[in-house]
Amino acid sequence: MKPVIRRSLLALTFSCSPLALHASEALSPTDPPARGAVVRTDTTPDRVLQRADSLRERMRFADARQLYMAAAQRQDAEQTKPCRALWNVAELYFAEGNFRRAASTLDLVAEKAASYGDPEVQARALLESAILYEKLGAKDQASTRLQRLDAVLTSPFISADVRATIAARRS
């Protein structure tokens, strides 16, 4: 039976540490290279994302995750915001039931969004990460993310819609 992608926890639509698992580990896929997941050097990050999306639709999560990671690394190297690719990695970890890696990857999304000046994505990633840590019973981790979220929400660059969505998810 194939796993079903659940979006209840990662319900926000993406627009573009004393952890047992550090956020930087999210950039090191643990799966061995899989057939069909090889990234050619002449392929643009957008093409890699399209291939990853296709693999995801076919429920080939490990292969898709590798391609999303490769795209994120290339986007970051090109100084292009890698948040969409990383968000997809988090969703795949979530779909596979690996909530800690999903939360860790969302922490990385928040870091990258902050470094690229995108407080809306940063806020969304912090909220989703906090929710996952809460589900994992890591209340201190969740609390830390919510404190960071409160600081990010002071930004005048966050739309009223995003603020309302975040407020609704927090209550």
Residue 102 has what pLDDT?
Answer: 97
The tokens describing 89, both together, are 């990695």
Contacts of 142 (CB under 8 A, 6+ apart): 130, 131, 133, 134
* DSSP 8-state code for residue 12: S
Residue 116 has what pLDDT?
Answer: 93
* Domains, the chain: 41-170 (1.25.40.10)
Q: What sign for the dihedral angle of Cα 94, 134, 85, 39?
A: negative
Tell me the pLDDT tens digit for each residue of 17-41: 222 233 333 444 334 445 555 545 5
Tell me the pLDDT tens digit for each residue of 82-97: 999 999 999 999 999 9
Would the pLDDT of 118 be above 50? yes
Tell me the pLDDT tens digit for each residue of 121-170: 999 999 999 999 999 999 999 999 999 999 999 999 999 999 999 999 98
What does the alpha-carbon distance between residue 58 and residue 5 come to, in Å, rounded to a whole number?
12
Q: What sign for the dihedral angle of Cα 20, 52, 77, 87?
A: negative
pTM for this model (two decimals): 0.75
